[in-house]
Structure 1
Amino acid sequence: MLIPLLLIPVIYVLIALTLSAIPPSVREARSLNFERLTGRETAQAPELQIFKARDGQAMSYAHYPADTRLKVILVHGSAYHGRYLAPLASHLSAAGIADVWVPNIRGHLGSGQRRGDIERIGQLEADMDDLIALIRQNDPEAQIVVGGHSSGGAFAMRYASGVGAGLVHGYFGLAPFLGPDAPTMPDTDSGWAHISLPRIIGLSMLNTVGIRVLNGLETIRFNLPERYRDGSETLGYSYRLMTNFALRPNFEADIAGLPERSIIMVGSKDEAVKAEAFPGLFKRLGKNAEVLDNLDHFAIVLDDSTMARLGAWLSAQSSHTN
């Protein structure tokens, strides 16, 4: 009886390793609507700047300056980088509503050692801490609002309700992806993200027993059509980047832990999330979510109606700080 008992952990690890050997692959499928990404966002984007994170790695970001104490950190979604957020960031800056900082998250264009990977889960929060420290070098009394689009909205939520809770003044999310177990998951697959569920299960099993050496394995691929690629995209994430650039498993706790000044906006025609599920979920958890008519997943960051609504909300937050 002793030998079988000793074999249990060996069998456990062997099962986990077997599952971890199965990589993700993109199947032929429709994807998100990228037609709104016309190129004007590239024309409005300033030259990238660099700051050094605490581990000495270079982190790239775009700065849209404005003479105001309200600082917005705007986080891009999965697979791309901050360039497509230029119209929104430019609007907020030019109107004097907010001084906007758009970081390229580690593992994306110009940030970190490797595209699609980070060194450890939790490193993205440390990078955000370092960016806020940089912002406050020039304005120690800066009021920080973090926000983001899609997966970037999820990570900004993770930060604002977690280790960054004492550093940020407010939060906004534009069609944030709340995870596969949330009621906001669409009934029909958008065709955008393709995971290896066996590999995720296997790596989760290994992490449970403290084995993290394989966390650099790729667990998710993104279906960006060839005609929209320019070489700056990041089409796959490792397990540790995928896990860190998302909400924690208890997504409701992340929502409930958001700052009092928080807002969610999602378009009624969003193909990546179920828009109608947001208001009820967030109301139940004491937060506010709004559905904007006739906007899809990318229109929510590019449409004038979003810019006006978000600008008004941010202006109200600024008035609270004066």
Structure 2
Amino acid sequence: MAMQLLRGALSVVKWGLCTVGAVALLLTALIATPLQRPNELRSVSDSAKGIDWSTLPPLERFQARDGTWLGFRHYAAKGTDRGAIFIHGSSGSSGTVNHALTHAIAARGVETWALDIRGHGGSGTRGDIGYVGQLEDDLVDFVAHVRKSAPDLPLTLLGHSAGAGFSLRVAATPIMQDMFVRTVLIAPYLGYDAPTNRPNSGGWANPDIPRFLGLAALRKLGIDCCSQLPVLAFAVPPNSERLLTATYSDRLMRNFATRGYRLDLPAVTHPMTIFGGTEDEMMISDKYADTVQALKPSIDVKIIDGVNHMGMVTNPKAVSAIAEDVATRGVAGS
């Protein structure tokens, strides 16, 4: 009997050591896997040409619940009866090319705030966050900050690209839905498995698949470590780190996105509009309507002819259409 117990104990120890060894090998492999940055995507870099930067508001800051100071820009408007909060796309910030759109929205009488999402611009550690869910906490804190000066303005939430994916995540979250009367998604990245994506976002993003899968496997084993490791690189210009975020950690990548478009779209309760461009080199815009309306028929989808991905926030045709939409809808059920 004693020998059987001893053999059983040794078997448990053996398999335990094997498990520890396998986890150690997995950790070593995922840490050693290099992340390759793709070559500069000129359609993104060139989008900054012709923008009037003289109207860019100064960077301001507010303090999030963890004590970190986060950046934002405030576009004041006179005599307004509505407001908007804008979420930039991957790698960007409140001071990048989306300024053309946010300025146009404010010029139409909408009090507008553009936020530097944590991990970007003037907010926190570049390319990383503390935990998945922190971006939602930050947005709740930011809305509370906005409400100090604008307690009653109905707010529209806008997001571009990855910021639109995050805005969809927000719109599907019960605790945050009532903060906004409406959500506008501009050229949204709906998730890795969405039929609206081009491979590697048309050359814009390069994921480290082995590292991503390794971290996912560890989480399934109940080991949530190493999520600060970079898993996604962007095709930003060389030496642009002062303005742009070149890589995302695993936890930033997972948080600055939808939870899955099939999960989030049915959970949306307030009005939502999606804008896309026919020449989008990162997304397949003509698939937006079928993809989202199969899950949420009430979502408006508007496609603008002749506009590419970054043109959705810089091209005068798209900027005018989106700014006019935000300025004329979102109040009293419109």
Normalised by the size of structure 2, how large is the TM-score? Answer: 0.88
State the Cα distance separating 1:247 from its structure 2 match: 1.0
**1:121 equivalent in alignment to 2:132:** yes
Aligned partners of 1:32, 1:197: CA distance in 2, in Å?
25
Residues 107-160 of structure 1: per-residue CA shift (max 9 Å, x gap): 111111x11111111111011001100111123222121111111111111112
* Structure 1 equivalent of residue 59 of structure 2: 48
* Structure 2 equivalent of residue 315 of structure 1: 327
Q: CA RMSD in A?
A: 2.2
**1:59 equivalent in alignment to 2:70:** yes
**1:296 equivalent in alignment to 2:301:** no
State the Cα distance separating 1:75 from its structure 2 match: 0.7
Is the Cα–Cα contact under 8 Å of residues 38 and 204 in structure 2 kept in the other structure? Answer: no
Indicate the larger mover: 153-162 or 133-142.
133-142
Aligned partners of 2:67, 2:199: CA distance in 1, in Å?
43
Q: Which letter maps to 2:314? A: L
Gaps of 5+ in 2: 1-10
Secondary structure of the equivalent of 1:300? helix
Q: 1:222 aligns with which of 216, 234, 247?
A: 234
Residues 26-47 of structure 1: per-residue CA shift (max 9 Å, x gap): 2447564432311525332111
Aligned partners of 1:170, 1:314: CA distance in 2, in Å?
9
Number of positions where the alignment pairs a residue of Structure 1 with one of Structure 2: 318
**Superposed, which structure 2 residues align to 1:93-172 within 5 Å?**
93-96=106-109, 98-112=110-124, 114-162=125-173, 163-172=175-184
Give the greater-gyration-radius structure (CA): 2
Q: 1:278 aligns with which of 271, 277, 288?
A: 288
Q: Which letter maps to 1:295? A: V
Q: 1:88 aligns with which of 79, 85, 101?
A: 101
**Superposed, which structure 2 residues align to 1:193-212 within 5 Å?**
193-212=205-224
* Structure 2 equivalent of residue 261 of structure 1: 271
Share of identical aligned residues, percent? 29
Gaps of 5+ in 1: none
Is the Cα–Cα contact under 8 Å of residues 195 and 221 in structure 1 kept in the other structure? Answer: yes
State the Cα distance separating 1:265 from its structure 2 match: 0.5
Secondary structure of the equivalent of 1:82? coil
Residues 224-256 of structure 1: per-residue CA shift (max 9 Å, x gap): 1238x37221101111111111111x3222122
Aligned partners of 1:202, 1:122: CA distance in 2, in Å?
21
State the Cα distance separating 1:206 from its structure 2 match: 1.8
State the Cα distance separating 1:87 from its structure 2 match: 1.5
